[in-house]
Amino acid sequence: MDERVREHAEVLVDWSARVDPGDNVVVSVAEDAHDLGVAVAEALGERGAAVTTLYGSDELSRAYLTGRERESASGDDAPEFPDPAVDRALLEAADVYLRLGGGRNTAATADVGRETRQAYARSRKEVRERRMATDWVSTVHPTRSLAQQAGMAYEEYRDFVYDAVLRDWEALAGEMARMKEVLDAGEEVRIRTERADAPDTDVTMSIAGRTAVNSAASVAYDSHNLPSGEVFTAPYDAEGEVFFDVPMTIESTRVRDVRLVFEDGEVVDFAADAGEEALESVLETDPGARRLGELGVGMNRGIDRFTDSILFDEKMGDTVHLAVGRAYDACLPDGESGNESAVHVDMISDVSVDSTMAVDGEVVQRDGTFRWEDGFDG
């Protein structure tokens, strides 16, 4: 076994999930994440945790859902799903939930009807809530399927994943704390890019009263992805224009070169060079889908390219992202609710050249370099 698989497991168990002796840990292993599963099981044995292993197979999910669909095909209604009592019970008893992604086909559930998915999701609301109440962490094992999604050779993709995951997280958390400090103290963010080859971005948004999350890939930082490496907050009252040059996939549709125009915090105009209909469908979900839910600053310099996976793309150094839709509670004052929506869709801009991010008029990042870094040209 590649020694990096073991290192990945140790970062996951110790830094990310903070597993203690006696913890009951549920590990969900995707179809081709077996090797990472073995390494995680070994680490959990060493730490003295109890382990329950789920098989997180998209192909099994698809079989179950299409089976349900077929049986219900007589009526026009979405299929009904039984009460998932076992899943509720097991998550109620779990201290930690580790999701090891890495299947064989990122499109494995593509032919499951939308109504079926939604009905299934509704039947599992409590399961989801209980999972979120554990110390949960989501990561991926590098598989051929994910390498294909990224347009990379398998060996190359493995190097990419381990460069992103095997960081000095303690040091990165310290650096990200500086960004969090700036955002927590600030009232207004302005992002500008002026590139010859692309539409300009010039957008301002309020962050007054909001708290940024130092997403350092650990439950100790309220951060549940490995890799992570972003600082995010919940902005509002956006004004101006934004161009997102990083391609993405929205509901299996490739979307490129999105432009959004905000007035009074709301998207009043939009366009995309590809996938505009998918974008439109997102924005029309509900009123909250036209307002911002997140501003995130990517700070993981181990990620050096876009791979069409939000787990990696939004954490890349020299990028910022905005999400339309739901805001995260962790960014809001206690008891206050932020932007609400059924969706949360991240869109990413490269800010490595001809760009600035300013907080209350002071530039904090120029051309990807932060104020506290060597080479910052204020």
Which residues make up the interface to a copy of itself (CB under 8 A)?
21-24, 26, 29, 31, 34, 37-39, 41-57, 59-61, 63-71, 80-90, 92-94
Question: Which of 284, 279, 293 lies closest to 324, judged by CA?
Answer: 293
Q: How near is the Cβ of 65 to a copy of itself at its closest, in Å?
A: 6
Q: How near is the Cβ of 170 to a copy of itself at its closest, in Å?
A: 24
How far, CA to CA in Å, does 47 sit from each of 38, 225, 258? 14, 21, 47
Q: Which is nearer to a copy of itself, 28 or 214 (CB)?
A: 28
- Rounded to whole angstroms, the Cα distance separating 289 from 46 reads 45
Q: Which is nearer to a copy of itself, 37 or 142 (CB)?
A: 37
Q: How near is the Cβ of 161 to a copy of itself at its closest, in Å?
A: 21
CA atoms within 13 A on the CB side of 161: 27
Q: Which is nearer to a copy of itself, 55 or 154 (CB)?
A: 55
Q: Give the sign of the dihedral formed by CA 334, CA 338, CA 341, CA 346.
A: negative
Q: How near is the Cβ of 124 to a copy of itself at its closest, in Å?
A: 10
Q: Which is nearer to a copy of itself, 64 or 376 (CB)?
A: 64
CA angle 189–261–365, rounded 5-degree value:
30
Q: Which is nearer to a copy of itself, 33 or 311 (CB)?
A: 33
How far, CA to CA in Å, does 330 sit from each of 144, 210, 320? 35, 9, 19
Q: How near is the Cβ of 261 to a copy of itself at its closest, in Å?
A: 44
Q: Which is nearer to a copy of itself, 124 or 192 (CB)?
A: 124
User: Token pair of 75, please?
Assistant: 């009526």
Q: Which is nearer to a copy of itself, 39 or 278 (CB)?
A: 39
Question: Which of 206, 200, 280 lies closest to 238, judged by CA?
Answer: 206
Q: Which is nearer to a copy of itself, 45 or 174 (CB)?
A: 45
Q: How near is the Cβ of 222 to a copy of itself at its closest, in Å?
A: 24
Q: Which is nearer to a copy of itself, 54 or 261 (CB)?
A: 54
Q: How near is the Cβ of 54 to a copy of itself at its closest, in Å?
A: 6
Q: How near is the Cβ of 72 to a copy of itself at its closest, in Å?
A: 9
Q: How near is the Cβ of 38 to a copy of itself at its closest, in Å?
A: 5
Using N-to-C axis directions, what is the helix angle for 3-10 and 154-165, rounded to 10°?
30
Buried b (16+ CB within 10 A) or exposed e, 278-294: bbeebbeeeebbbbbbb
How far, CA to CA in Å, does 276 sit from each of 17, 122, 149, 250? 39, 28, 21, 10
User: Token pair of 104, please?
Assistant: 């064989």
Alpha helices of the chain — where are they, by DSSP H?
Answer: 3-10, 34-47, 58-71, 85-93, 114-123, 125-132, 144-150, 154-165, 169-185, 276-283, 310-313
End-to-end CA distance of the chain: 47
